[in-house]
Structure 1
Amino acid sequence: MKSKTYLLLEFFIFFILLPVSLAIDFLIWIKVGYILAAFIYILVTLKKSEAISFQIKKNLNWKTFWRRIAGTFLLVLIATTIYVYVVAPENLFFVPLNNPLLFVVILCVYVVFSVWPQEIIYRTFFFERYEYVFQNKPLLVFINAIVFSLAHLFFKNTLVLVLTFIGGLMFGFTYLKYRSTTAVTIEHALYGNWLFTVGMGQMLAFPGIEPV
């Protein structure tokens, strides 16, 4: 285990400095380069220092997992449908109804290239790495929600920051309960894909959401 000073410096670089820099306008290829470098560092660190095997847990209680998120997902489904219907009814289910092929492609790409890497970084790496530093678990989850919201600062959208903070709290508690990247990735994918489905995808820069 690294020293607390080293871990705090690492935390500052990866979870404060890097996401804030993404909100600043400069060459996209530079951003892509250091994001990939950071992700490789995280994967190597998880494998070597934290002994993460990247295998699906065989003893996970999936029944309790699905029961845990079913009620919350139903509330999100109802609330977001009402929100889109009131605020932008022309967007309601626009993509699945008008471009089903794009809809399926985006769902798959989003899970593989956005949700899974985010959960590796913001849940698996964060909790396995910094639980030693922030030993109070509610505080640990709260900090995780803050930095997860900060990771979406480049969208420059207040609603996105609020939603990702709430999502960060939910996903943080899920990871602590199950210690499963797979479980928390499924939960994250459900909510993210639903936002795209219901018509809120423009907030998250999904293509094809704007009605003609």
Structure 2
Amino acid sequence: MNSIRYKSLEFFIIFILVPVSFALNFSPWIKLVIGGIGFLYVVYVLLKVENEKLKIAPNLNWKLFWKETFVKGVVIVILTTLFVWITDKETLFNVLLNKPKLWVFILFLYSLFSVYPQELIFRTFYFKRYHNLFKNKGFLVFLNAIVFALGHLFFKNSLVIILTFLGGLLFAFTYNKTQSTLLVSIEHAIYGCWLFTVGMGVMLGFPT
């Protein structure tokens, strides 16, 4: 399972073939089964093949992390607020203002059951398995953003692809720098929850 040929085929299936196939019209139940099997495979490989310990990494630089996340967050808040204000003013903070209980409930579910699994697959698994396939660190990060965007093809929305590519770059840089699934999951949750809050949730599959 650690040969270059095996890893190359594994990469193609998990990060290219499956995401592209999910953009096709077939039973969502079949997609759910494929996704579930894929996630279990990823966890198995991390724990049994790569001997990854899914625990909080020691010596995390929390101060630097929060500082960088805040700065990036301010930029995201300004740009996305202006975008929603210009393109669809009626949706600006719509869920937060009109359905605050739904807003809190969705943020909790999203952070726990969507963000963390995504980061296990697209960051922890990806960087652990394929760092030796792509020697150039910059290319490894860039490719991670591409496959993260491909993972959202099923939304069939060009803006979602652009946003997830940019988000993929941010998250890949964070993980490559910190090697922490926890930190990149927190960052991912903050930015994703903000997009839902500001009024961009519909295109990302959030209920409204």
Coarse TM-score class (shorter-chain normalised)? over 0.9
Matches within 5 A, 1:1-212: 2-208=2-208
What are the superposed Cα offsets for residues 155-191 of structure 1, whole Å, 9 maximum, x if unpaired? 0100000010001111001001100000000010111
Give runs of ≥4 in structure 1 deviating > 4 Å.
none
Secondary structure at the aligned position of 1:58 is classed as coil
Report the AA paired with residue 81 of structure 2.
Answer: T
Secondary structure at the aligned position of 1:135 is classed as coil
Secondary structure at the aligned position of 1:60 is classed as coil
Secondary structure at the aligned position of 1:24 is classed as coil
Report the AA paired with residue 4 of structure 2.
Answer: K
Report the AA paired with residue 85 of structure 1.
Answer: W
Structure 2 length-normalised TM: 0.98
Unmatched 5+ stretches in structure 2: none
- Matched length: 208
Report the AA paired with residue 87 of structure 1.
Answer: T
- Structure 1 distance, partners of 2:183, 2:205, is 25
Unmatched 5+ stretches in structure 1: none
1:51 Cα deviation after fit: 1.4
What are the superposed Cα offsets for residues 112-138 of structure 1, whole Å, 9 maximum, x if unpaired? 121111000000000000001011100
1:23 Cα deviation after fit: 0.5
- Structure 2 distance, partners of 1:77, 1:163, is 13
1:52 Cα deviation after fit: 1.2
Secondary structure at the aligned position of 2:122 is classed as helix
- Structure 2 distance, partners of 1:168, 1:152, is 11
Report the AA paired with residue 118 of structure 1.
Answer: Q
- Structure 2 distance, partners of 1:70, 1:9, is 38
1:58 Cα deviation after fit: 2.6
- Structure 1 distance, partners of 2:45, 2:205, is 30
What are the superposed Cα offsets for residues 45-78 of structure 1, whole Å, 9 maximum, x if unpaired? 0011111111111311111111122111100001
